[in-house]
Amino acid sequence: MSEQPKQPLILVTNDDGIEAKGIRHLANCMLPLGRVIIVAPDRGQSGMGHAVTINDVLKMEERSFPLAGIEQAWQTTGTPVDCVKLAIYEILGQKPDLLVSGVNHGSNASINVIYSGTMSAAVEGAVEGIPSIGFSLLDHSAQADFSGTSSFIQRIAAQVLDRGLPDGTCLNVNFPKLLGDKIKGMKVCRQSAGHWDDAFDKRTSPGGSTYYWMTGNFKNPDQGEDTDEWALRNGFVSIVPTQFDLTAHHAISTLNQWDLK
Amino acid sequence: MSEQPKQPLILVTNDDGIEAKGIRHLANCMLPLGRVIIVAPDRGQSGMGHAVTINDVLKMEERSFPLAGIEQAWQTTGTPVDCVKLAIYEILGQKPDLLVSGVNHGSNASINVIYSGTMSAAVEGAVEGIPSIGFSLLDHSAQADFSGTSSFIQRIAAQVLDRGLPDGTCLNVNFPKLLGDKIKGMKVCRQSAGHWDDAFDKRTSPGGSTYYWMTGNFKNPDQGEDTDEWALRNGFVSIVPTQFDLTAHHAISTLNQWDLK
């Protein structure tokens, strides 16, 4: 009798916290593809970027998860990147075959990738040599409708499980806020060169002290039709291969002409 | 009578907090080059990566700084990236001519760049179109000896003020733990492909709950002589041009051969 092929081990995390609707949706999408383990923050950690907890302690606990078929679910006091490290080095004691992060409630396209805890978890997976994907939907609402994303998520994840990803890369996948049958398809893109014009909403506490809320407007002068922002604006799912080598290789020759010896 | 040339405006920040020895050293190095404004976290923020404070309020206050000639010094409750945003959009109301971050107590070479609050402040400067440099010394000690770094810091900063930097890039400068006359010179490098093998030190609180401290060992299989790690190991200052476009451009053609339409 031949052995059953071993089921892939899939690690699911996010930055909106283990209670978020988006991670439940993503875990559900992964169930047909392998054994699913969830390790996620115990609360929202949006905007945490690639933060790691080195000056404080971490705690975690196994818990129930409202979805049949999940092998284990853990919540931690850490950031999304902490969750990836705890999962590999403390909970699993091995690297999963696939890491998926999200589905984020809100865009991680363009410059948002560098502020995103969702994408930092995927980037950390890539640093560990694990095929990793971050998924995000362009809808901040806690009750966002993720139903249109399922078939795309499963097609992308199945291919990544099958083929792996180029060394040193993960995928940044963003979905337009459209029902599934309105989505025109998928496009492999580059990160659009947008940025945030920040502003601070200055307020006074009842006790008389001044405090600020960060606000701002996203600006995108980059009109390239090969960008994630273009794809999303035109009804496509954007897929950006994303790397942790931050070297601006094209700038090395310029700098070698300076007085930097 | 001709007007005096306008002095450049230099923003100084860090991730070790406004009380750290490294930021005092860096501010001192900047004084001959222009008007110096300090906006830094009120406490250590190491490992914060590109975190921004979007789910909590920010506070800041002007304070004294133990160095004559500083034009303004502010401490904030935010991350290094928050400090850059507060400085530009709330304190200065304009973009500085130069942003310098550090000098960090500890290495930000190789993969450390993605976890680093020091470098995230510099990257945020680049996003804002400001010539920006992060400086770090390979010595974690609070009392680290920064004296050997002064002339290098001033030569690099003066050239960046003079020439600007290629669009979308900042500099990641690391110093070996050597006295100035032992440093062999500077090298423009790429980011070495190292990573951390993490581990968690599991402990029990007096009350009986389990908690963890993140530890780990840096591993660097990348033996390239064009890397920051090689330069530092061989007594050179490493200078890596660093960008916020995370697109793995070389992977786009590979992915276009997948079933991702």
| H or E element at residue B241 | strand B236-243
Q: What amino acid occupies position A182?
A: K
Contacts of residue B59 in chain A, CB cutoff 8 Å? 209-212
The residues facing B136 across adjacent strands are: B104, B174
Contact between residue B108 and residue B116 where contact means Cβ atoms under 8 Å apart:
yes
Which string of b and e fits A159-185 if b means at least 16 CB within 10 Å?
Answer: bbbeeebbebbbbbbbbbebeeeebee
Q: What secondary structure, in 3-state letters, does B4-61 show?
A: CCCCCEEEEECCCCCCCHHHHHHHHHHHHHCEEEEEEECCCCCCCCCCCCCCCCECEE
Q: What amino acid occupies position B141?
A: S
Domain annotation for chain B: domains and CATH numbers = 9-192+223-255 (3.40.1210.10)
Distance CA A247, CA B170 (A): 10
CA atoms within 13 A on the CB side of A248: 23
Distance CA B180, CA B102 (A): 18
pLDDT tens string, chain B, 261 residues long: the values are 556 678 999 999 999 999 999 999 999 999 999 999 999 999 998 888 888 898 899 999 999 999 999 999 999 999 999 999 999 999 999 999 999 999 999 999 999 999 999 999 999 999 999 999 999 999 999 999 999 999 999 999 999 999 999 999 999 999 999 988 899 999 999 999 999 999 999 999 999 999 999 999 999 999 999 999 999 999 999 999 999 999 999 999 999 999 998
- Which residues neighbour B207 within 8 Å (Cβ) at sequence distance 6 or greater? none
Contacts of residue B154 in chain A, CB cutoff 8 Å? none
Note the pLDDT of residue A4. Answer: 65
Contacts of residue A118 in chain B, CB cutoff 8 Å? none
Size of interface A-B (CB pairs under 8 A): 236
- For residue A48, pLDDT over 90 is answered with no
Q: What is the pLDDT of residues A139-179, one digit of tens each?
A: 999 999 999 999 999 999 999 999 999 999 999 999 999 98
Distance CA A258, CA B164 (A): 11
Token code pair at residue B244: 């916020």
**ipTM beyond cut 0.85:** yes
**Residue B227 DSSP label:** B
Note the pLDDT of residue A3. Answer: 62
Note the pLDDT of residue B3. Answer: 62
Give the closest of A86, A166, A247 to B251, CB-based: A166
The residues facing A119 across adjacent strands are: none
Distance CA A81, CA A63 (A): 20
Contact B90 A50 (CB under 8 A): no
Contact A260 B188 (CB under 8 A): yes
Closest CA to A122 of A111, A136, A110: A136
Note the pLDDT of residue A2. Answer: 56
Contact B159 A212 (CB under 8 A): no
Note the pLDDT of residue B34. Answer: 98
Note the pLDDT of residue B2. Answer: 55
Angle formed at CA A255 by CA A249 and CA A259, multiple of 5 degrees: 160
Shortest distance, CA A221 to any CA of chain B (angstroms): 13
Q: Cis bond leading into B103, ω under 30°?
A: yes
Chain A, nearest residue to B86 by Cα:
A200
Contact between residue B103 and residue B25 where contact means Cβ atoms under 8 Å apart:
yes
Contact A214 B82 (CB under 8 A): yes
Q: What percentage of chain A carries pLDDT values higher than 70?
A: 98
Shortest distance, CA A128 to any CA of chain B (angstroms): 8
Give the closest of A120, A168, A249 to B49, CB-based: A120
Give the closest of B58, B213, B255 to A241, CB-based: B255
Note the pLDDT of residue B46. Answer: 81
- Which residues neighbour B34 within 8 Å (Cβ) at sequence distance 6 or greater? B7, B8, B9, B10, B97, B98, B161
Note the pLDDT of residue B168. Answer: 96
Please classify residue A216 by burial: count the beta carbons closer than 10 Å to its beta carbon, then call 0-12 exposed, 13-18 middle and 19+ buried: middle
Shortest distance, CA B169 to any CA of chain A (angstroms): 7
Mean pLDDT of chain A: 95
Whole-structure pTM value: 0.95
Contact between residue B13 and residue B123 where contact means Cβ atoms under 8 Å apart:
no
Q: Is the dihedral of CA B48, B53, B55, B60 positive or negative?
A: positive
* Phi, psi torsion values for B212, nearest 5 degrees: -135, 145
Contact A214 B254 (CB under 8 A): no
